[in-house]
Amino acid sequence: MRITAIAWKKGASMRGGRQQTPGFVCKGDTAEVVFQAVEPLYLQAESGVGNGNGEGNGLSRVMFFDAARGEGGANCVMIGKVREVV
C-alpha cells in the first residue's frame, strides 16, 4: 500500500484540534488517509449491514503491519475502516 493523500488528522499531536491535508500522521492520531494498492488486493467498503451488535461488515476492516524481521516478527502499526473503494 502507498499513501497518496492525507485528508485530515486529529489527536494528541494536534492537542485535540483537527488539521486539513497534513504532511504526516503521528502515533495515536486519527486520520482519513487515501491509499493506492501496489499489488492486487480485495477490499470491500463498509456496507452498514451489521451482525446486530452495531458492527459493520468484517471485510471493511484493515490492519497494517510493519515489515520488521527477527525477534517478535511483524507488529501491527495501524488499524482502520475502509470507507470507499474506487
pTM beyond 0.85, yes or no: no
pLDDT for the residue 56 = 52
Q: Contact, 66 vs 74, CB < 8 A? A: yes
pLDDT for the residue 57 = 58
- From first to last of its 86 residues, the chain has per-residue pLDDT tens of 889 999 999 987 778 789 999 999 888 889 999 998 888 887 777 765 555 455 555 667 888 888 766 566 778 888 888 888 88
33-62 in b/e burial notation, b at 16+ Cβ within 10 A? eebeeeeeeeeeebeeeeeeeeebbeebee
pLDDT for the residue 68 = 67
- What residue ranges do the domains of the chain occupy? 1-41, 42-86
